[in-house]
Structure 1
Amino acid sequence: MGKGEHTREVILDEAGGLAARVGLGGLTIGELAARTELSKSGLFAHFGSKESLQLQVFERTVTRITDVVIRPALRAPRGEPRLRTLVDRWLDWASANGGCPLLAATFEFDDQPGPLRDRVAAAQNDWIDTLTTVCTTGIAEGHFRPDLDPRQLAVDIEGVLLAYHVMHRLLADPAARDRALHSIDALIAAAR
């Protein structure tokens, strides 16, 4: 990795940490320049615009979620075990990050048209599609009833994860994870 690429990685790491606290919209070139000890013009040269910086930080977040949550979960046995592993890994991810940065961006950009909102919406659709596929394999494996609507189960699970995000991040409820797992257990029991 060259010096320019290394610098870019340092900037994206710092920006990701900052965005976890202040949101993508709260990222500023000035704050990031101060934190990375780079000039504003030097930082701007790496990204070209605040929107480009936000998009790249978001892409990095999506890549990390894929690497930390989705890929490892897909190694679990198909069906219900995979679904539970996916949810557990997501909860671990969200707990470690003070909430899920993808969901935070979803709330932050839901009514702001543009490339960042479009990318956030695409990532959210990909996540729901992943949940739906995992729920579908649960039917094929005989873990869930044949008449189950896998998309509905995926949306219901996402509702629980959204509630967890709010309970954990905004309300600092120490029982947020237990409540989420209780709700997931109820949804899975109803799906059998």
Structure 2
Amino acid sequence: MPVDGRVARGDATRRLVLRRAVDVASVDGLEGLSLGRLATELELSKSGVFALFGSKEDLQLATVEAAFEIFRSHVVTPASDVPPGLPRLRAVCENWLDYSEKRVFPGGCFFFNAGAEFDARPGRVHDAVAAASNAFAEFIRETAVEAVELGQVDADAEVLAFELHALGRAANADSVLNGGTHAYALARRAIGARLS
């Protein structure tokens, strides 16, 4: 069945708006998003952008979802293709540091920033950010459990996962605040020592 041209154009416009929205939100926060701003920056009609999202909250929720898909494609999916246990654990840590260091999002790790913005604010956006962050933390934990169960790492898997997560977040925060890549080099050394 042929796709309606309007639907295809609407989907393409939605992807374009969301790609810009994740970049804006990574720097200015999800509260920095507005339908009017995105329409102006992308030279689209405000009514057309409003028709795609309906409200600022809907735009924020769609932005969180789009950011998680981008994050997953850079960090989780490639690691999932690596053998389980220690190789996968190393891969997910390296992918995460690469994703942050290469500034896939101009403001650094989207979820670090969104988490800080919405951590104490209840509501649907908070819940979406928390769900995405928790899904990644759980992937690290499951991967650490596999490595411990396979006898590749001698550690408390939950503590190990927490440490690895903390090191990635610290590298991102320090690099965004202070510039440079030294924090990533330190995180790589710390993770390498912890997983040796």
Instruction: Determine if contact 2:172/2:184 at 8 Å carries over to the other structure.
Output: no
- Equivalent position SS for 1:112: coil
CA RMSD of aligned residues (A): 1.4
Whether 2:62 is the aligned partner of 1:63: answer: no
Q: 2:24 pairs with 12, 18, 21, which one?
A: 18
Which whole-Å CA distance do the structure 2 matches of 1:151 and 1:122 have between them?
A: 18
1:6-55 CA distance string (max 9 Å, x none): 11111111112222221211112221110111222221111011111011
Q: Give 1:123 shift.
A: 1.3
Determine the structure 2 residue equivalent to 1:81: 87
Instruction: Determine if contact 2:101/2:181 at 8 Å carries over to the other structure.
Output: no
Determine the structure 2 residue equivalent to 1:46: 52
Alignment of 1:37-186 (within 5 A): 37-97=43-103, 98=106, 99-145=108-154, 148-186=155-193
Unaligned runs of at least 5 residues, structure 2: 1-6
Q: Which amino acid aligns with 1:83?
A: L
Which sits farther off after the overlay, 71-80 or 111-120?
71-80
1:141-174 CA distance string (max 9 Å, x none): 22112xx321111111111111111111111143
Which whole-Å CA distance do the structure 2 matches of 1:26 and 1:88 have between them?
A: 30
Q: Which amino acid aligns with 2:145?
A: T
Determine the structure 1 residue equivalent to 2:3: none
Which whole-Å CA distance do the structure 2 matches of 1:157 and 1:8 have between them?
A: 35
Q: Say how many residue pairs are matched.
A: 187
Whether 2:7 is the aligned partner of 1:7: answer: no
1:57-79 CA distance string (max 9 Å, x none): 11011111112211111111221
Unaligned runs of at least 5 residues, structure 1: none
Determine the structure 2 residue equivalent to 1:188: 195
